[in-house]
Amino acid sequence: MTGHAHTPGEWNISAHAVPDYVYQVGIYADGSANGDDIATVKSCEADARLIVAAPALLAYGLEALRVLEEHGIGDTFEARGLRAAIYDATEGSS
């Protein structure tokens, strides 16, 4: 797996309404609503929370995979699934 170029965490969410009163959740980098705008999710705060957790999930997934491989169990069903998820997150399968 090669390097990935996502906006570094910490990310956070901020709920807001646009002029047509559609509920939206903004996702921002640097831990504040003044940071870089990562995305806007309409009508589903649960999706926004999952997106906000993505940098930490990726970091812990990479570490878990490293530990599995270090202990010689990097070819299990779970490790292969984790490796595939990391690939999708970093290299993408569009």
pLDDT digits (tens, 9 = 90+) for 9-40: 778 777 766 666 667 778 877 755 666 677 77
Find out whether 40 and 26 touch, Cβ atoms under 8 Å: yes
pLDDT value of residue 70: 96
Question: Hey, which bits of 7-90 come out as E strands?
Answer: 11-17, 23-29, 37-42
Distance CA 46, CA 69 (A): 32
Q: In this structure, how many other beta carbons lie within 10 angstroms of the beta carbon of residue 43?
A: 10
Asked whether the predicted pLDDT for residue 8 surpasses 70, the reply is yes
Domain-by-domain residue ranges, the chain?
11-90
Find out whether 50 and 13 touch, Cβ atoms under 8 Å: no
Q: Sheet harboring 37-42: ordered strands across?
A: 11-17, 23-29, 37-42
Bridge partner list, 24: 16, 42
